[in-house]
Amino acid sequence: MIISSIAKTAKALTQRRFTLDFPNEREQLSDRERYMLRLDMPTCISCGACERVCPNKTIEMVNVESEKPNKKMPKIDIERCMFCGLCAEVCPTKCLVMTKSYDFEAYDKRMFVKRPEDLE
C-alpha cells in the first residue's frame, strides 16, 4: 500500500503539470467586454437615473463634497454588480462608463464598495 502510494507520487512528479502559471501579460479583451465602472465627477448632474435602472440595486446615490450643496453621486457595490452596463447606457451626460479594467483583488469585502471619489 505504501509502495503504491510512493509509485503514484513519483509518476505524478514526472508528468506534465495540469495548471498554468499566472501570465506576466494581461489577456487582450474584446471590445464587447465590460468591467469596472469609471465616473467623471465634474460632468455628473446627480440625476439618479443609474440608481433607478440598476437591476441588482448596486448603485446608491450619496452626498459628496463639491461646490454645489447636497450634490449626490453614485456609490457602487462592485460585489453585487453584474456588469450589465445599463447604468452607463441610461446616463444622460455619459459620465458613467464601463472600462476594461478587471482588477478585483481585495482582502476585505468592504473594499468592493466604491465611493464616487474611488471611481475616477
* 110/54: higher pLDDT: 54
Q: What is the pLDDT of residues 10-53, one digit of tens each?
A: 887 787 766 666 667 766 767 777 778 888 888 888 888 989 99
pLDDT value of residue 5: 84
CB contact burial 9-38 (16+ within 10 A = b; e otherwise): eeeeeeeeeeeeeeeeeeeeeeeeebebbe
Using CA atoms in the order 37, 38, 41, 43, what is the torsion angle rounded to 10 degrees?
-100
Q: How far apart are CA 76 and CA 113, in angstroms?
A: 6
For each of the domains in the chain, give its residue range(s) and CATH number, in order of start. 30-119 (3.30.70.3270)
The 3-state DSSP class for residue 77 equals strand
pTM of the full structure: 0.67
Q: What is the pLDDT of residues 60-110, one digit of tens each?
A: 998 887 666 778 889 988 888 888 889 899 999 998 888 877 777 778 878
